[in-house]
Structure 1
Amino acid sequence: MKTIKNVLLAGFFASFMLILASCSSDDNENNNSNVIESSALPENARNFITTHFPEATYTLVKQNSVADDDGSIYDVYLSNGFEIDFDTNGNWTDVDGNTQAVPVAIIPASITSYVTANYAGQTINTIEIETTGYDIELSSGLDLVFNAQGEFIRVDS
């Protein structure tokens, strides 16, 4: 009986340690960034926001200590609900409008044409630059993948 009790106790302790370790890993990811002033953004990033979101104000700007997989180092949250990621040079890597359409001016014309022809009535609510091209999300939630030239590759699942 004592052996069973020890085995159960050891199993409980091991499970607890795994849960604790996974939580501390999440905490480390969240501590990977610092809140900064919008004036600390690279000029390219500030110009992008002024040009494409002239009515919006900054609600939160974070600088990551390590670049994300897409190269982004800055996370910018605007008053209109948009979230934009920028690399160290201030070039956008991800524009997320949540439920709003991304400004057409930043979308390659070939992608806009493809979406208009094949998904009439839907808008592009997220666009992300990846190493192989573009990943977009439509208002329906459908993800589409395009190469660097803006040619359709596939529907992403």
Structure 2
Amino acid sequence: MRIGDEDLVQALSASLTKEIGDLPDDGKDHELRIKIRGRGNNTHINLGTQTFEIRSGKEPPPLESDRARSCPQCGKSTWRYTQLCMHCDYNLHNHDQVEADHRAEQQAAQRRKETNTFLLKIFIVSASVAISGFSLKGYFPEALQHWVIGVSVVAGLLAFVILQATR
């Protein structure tokens, strides 16, 4: 397409929509003519011969089509990317957004649960190291007792920080 053809196609589409809406609803064949004015002598428009099939009723998508989906309200087959179900006018876009939000909330809750479980494990290990270090420091040689106390204090602080972070 040349530059500007997109605007021409949009204008033609809008004009066709209006003209088709004005056709009588008598079930007969009608000829539709559209006049297009050019801009001086330099304009050349060749849309070729186009045939448009207009159907008045709502038709469901073909069976097993990738363009079909089942309506969550009425269960009938409808078009995948339409906003409203063609059978019951259920708002499919709103339903899809609610479902996406619900899935995101569930995933976030699962991640929080996994994080809290991991932090609980670290807390238990840190608290155990701190308690064990202070309880058993007397059984270590004199030269290592300062190290045991230092490791116990660090483990206790880590356990305290994790406990405060989970509140």
Please give the TM-score of this superposition, normalised by the length of structure 1: 0.24
Q: Which has the higher contact order (CA 8 A, sep 6+)?
A: 1
**CA radius of gyration, larger in:** 2
Q: Greater strand share, 1 or 2?
A: 1
Question: Per residue, is there more helix in 1 or in 2?
Answer: 2
